[in-house]
Amino acid sequence: MTREEFVEQFGGVFEHSPWIAERAWDHDRIDDPLTSVGVHEAMCAEFRTASRKARTEVLRAHPDLAGRLALANQLTASSRAEQAGAGLDRLTPEELERFTELNQRYMEKFGFPFIIAVRGHDKTSILEAFEERVTHSEDDEFDVACGQVERIAGFRIADMIKGDAA
């Protein structure tokens, strides 16, 4: 696999942040580009060693859950599938109103959208996590959000590699 092929395949797993795949390749962190663990570990290492400003930009690249991009059908294919898998594309008007309110409060407090790896969650558990995490300190929530971004990337990488093997 060439650098260009690697970035083409994995450049989107950290939402709109191909620089992470580029740096993972350039720093020769990839032991085997055909194993999800190796790719995930290499990309997370690059994400973790990036400046706080760069990591914040990765967080800001994520869409609001059940937010305006979802309503306008402007999510990436991965985000759309992930949110639909958790039932966020089938919210009642009351649930949508609650998500909108929490999205606004969260964004005002932290400066980036609420991020959760929705796999294994439903809208109820996501709302519970949302309501709890909006009370976090800025530093604590930054760490939690970064961990969730890494978890999302892990799921995406595993799905890509499993899909290529099929």
Active site residues: 62
Helix (H) or strand (E) holding 97: helix 93-110
- Other C-beta atoms closer than 10 Å to the C-beta of 2 total 8
CA distance 166 to 152: 21
CA distance 34 to 39: 8
SS3 content of the chain, % helix, strand, coil (to 5): 65, 0, 35
Helix (H) or strand (E) holding 102: helix 93-110
